Amino acid sequence: MLIRMKVKAGARKERIVEIGPGRFEIEVKEKATQNAANGRVVALIARHLRVPEKSLHMVSGHHHPRKTLRVI
């Protein structure tokens, strides 16, 4: 299963909004430096989907606000 999302790093509050099947808008407090925001995004999606973080793999968007994760 693929999950597509648009991420805003450096937000005041963290939030996750499901805008469609497998599509999310996510805001995280971490800045987009040294992979901090990506790590937090994976943690939030894992908690939302109730799966372990290790079962999520970032397919694309490592350095871009639009990201795609694969659930293994």
- The pLDDT score that the predictor gives to residue 66 is 97
What's the Cα-to-Cα distance from 19 to each of 4, 32, 33, 35, rounded to whole Å? 10, 23, 26, 25
Chain center to CA of 40: 7
How many structural domains comprise the chain? 1
Identify the domain containing residue 14 by its residue range.
2-71
Task: Give the pLDDT band of residue 12 (cuts 50, 70, 90).
Answer: very high
Cβ-contact 72, 1 below 8 angstroms: no
Domain CATH number, residue 20: 3.30.1200.10
Tell me the mean pLDDT in the region 3-7.
97
Residue pLDDT, tens place only, 13-70: 999 999 999 999 999 999 988 889 999 999 999 999 999 999 999 999 999 999 999 9
Quote the pLDDT of residue 26: 98
